[in-house]
């Protein structure tokens, strides 16, 4: 059998991917104001990086209520749909595929961002957690502000959020995306429902592990009914606990969720893995169990070297590998890997979030 590596083509259901490099979602806060509208500069940015077999966009809020950071794009107005068409057209013309990541931040927000009180599974604040706004700092930097106490979601709020994800998925397809990724990771709304420390409800959405996965299952079911299982993925982060999300039951809860997602026959599960130097490593037995429980595509993202990526691919425990920072600074990252070429460093940390020009965004050199 031919050895599988990052350059091996892959079939993601109906989509033919030219390689197994995935450009991971990265918030960059470049949406046009007012209205959080995707724009031509963003189209250039994504188009430059279309050497990836598939791109997952930056997190994109499904409603104004779902926004937690300034200048992040939405997918709930016609103007936003038209803006995203610039991006999907550019990426498709360059030969890649692209999914939109659907996002609701839940309690990780402030009225200083969107004028609204945050909502969440419980009226429990995320300790030591900040979001950012832009308030005219001389160097254009983001200003971090603490999150505010959320309103506990009632039954109508939950129905509203499920509908927002459904409409967001419908709008994404109208904007030309190949599919959507439901953001169930990193301490945002769906993850907040999954975890016992942030979800202290006593109704059918709280208490037991089976109840805590209900919102994820209902959102995913709504999206699948709207656009099809083959166009639907879910991102999870079982080993990441920042934003006050440390839950001793999360691994068992994630496996219950995985079984439910497998029954829905969704396209993929995307593991967001911790990417700092002393971060916990995902145990091999977790990967083995995930492969047993989930029959379709598995994606792993988390600061992996090409050698680590190839080892995972060869093990058949992972099918695609996500890269974030390396695509941020190297629009031709696969070519650099193939040639073992040096990588561009981050040119200026001030340009990671925000900015209305190409500096630190579309001005990174190609080979």
Catalytic residue numbers, as ranges: 188
Structure tokens at 155: 């039954």
- Using DSSP, state whether 10 is helix, strand or coil: strand
326 to each of 21, 182, 332, 334, how far by Cα in Å?
11, 23, 9, 10
Using an 8 Å Cβ cutoff, are 235 and 272 in contact? yes
**How many other CB atoms are found less than 10 A from the CB of residue 113?**
23
Closest CA to 323 of 273, 269, 257: 273
Tell me the C-alpha distance between 327 and 48, whole Å.
10
Rounded to a whole number of angstroms, the CA Rg of the chain reads 19
**How many Cα neighbours within 13 Å face the side chain of 271?**
30
Tell me the C-alpha distance between 312 and 322, whole Å.
12
Report how many helices (DSSP H) and strands (DSSP E) the chain contains, helices first.
Answer: 12, 14
Cβ-proximal residues to 365 (8 Å cutoff; 6+ apart), any chain: 344
**Calculated CA dihedral for residues 33, 38, 44, 45, nearest 10 degrees:** 90
Cβ-proximal residues to 189 (8 Å cutoff; 6+ apart), any chain: 66, 104, 105, 106, 107, 119, 120, 161, 215
Using an 8 Å Cβ cutoff, are 253 and 209 in contact? yes
Tell me the C-alpha distance between 40 and 84, whole Å.
9
- Using DSSP, state whether 360 is helix, strand or coil: coil
**Calculated CA dihedral for residues 18, 268, 72, 84, nearest 10 degrees:** 50
């Amino acid at each position: 059998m031919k050895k599988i590596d990052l350059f091996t083509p892959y079939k993601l259901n109906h989509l033919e991917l030219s390689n197994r490099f995935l450009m991971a979602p990265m918030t960059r806060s470049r949406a046009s104001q007012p209205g959080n509208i995707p724009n031509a500069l963003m189209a250039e940015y994504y188009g430059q990086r279309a050497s990836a077999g598939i791109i997952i966009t930056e997190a994109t809020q499904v409603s104004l209520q779902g926004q937690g950071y300034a200048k992040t794009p939405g997918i709930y107005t016609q103007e936003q749909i038209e803006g995203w068409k610039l991006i999907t057209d550019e990426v498709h013309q360059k030969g890649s595929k692209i999914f939109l990541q659907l996002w609701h931040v839940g309690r990780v927000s402030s009225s200083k961002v969107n004028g609204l009180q945050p909502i969440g599974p419980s009226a429990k604040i995320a300790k030591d957690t900040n979001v950012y706004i832009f308030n005219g700092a001389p160097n254009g930097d983001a200003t971090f502000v603490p999150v505010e106490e959320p309103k506990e979601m009632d039954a109508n709020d939950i129905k509203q959020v499920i509908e927002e994800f459904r409409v967001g998925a419908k709008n994404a397809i109208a904007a030309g995306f190949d599919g959507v990724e439901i953001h169930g990771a990193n301490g945002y709304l769906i993850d907040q429902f999954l975890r016992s420390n942030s979800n202290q409800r006593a109704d059918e959405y709280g208490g037991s592990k089976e109840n805590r996965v209900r919102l994820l299952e209902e959102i995913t079911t709504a999206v699948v009914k709207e656009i099809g299982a083959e166009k639907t993925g879910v991102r999870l982060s079982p080993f990441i606990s920042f934003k006050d999300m440390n839950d001793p039951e999360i691994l068992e809860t994630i496996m219950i969720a995985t079984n439910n997602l497998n029954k829905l026959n969704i396209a993929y599960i995307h593991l967001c893995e911790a990417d700092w130097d002393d971060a916990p490593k995902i145990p091999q037995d977790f990967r083995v169990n995930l492969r047993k429980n989930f029959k379709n595509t598995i994606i792993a993202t988390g600061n992996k070297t090409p050698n680590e990526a190839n080892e995972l691919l060869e093990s058949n425990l992972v099918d695609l590998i996500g890269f974030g920072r390396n695509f941020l600074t190297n629009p031709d990252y696969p070519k650099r890997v193939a040639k073992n070429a040096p990588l561009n460093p981050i040119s200026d940390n001030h340009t990671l979030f925000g900015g209305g020009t190409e500096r630190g965004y579309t001005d990174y050199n190609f080979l």
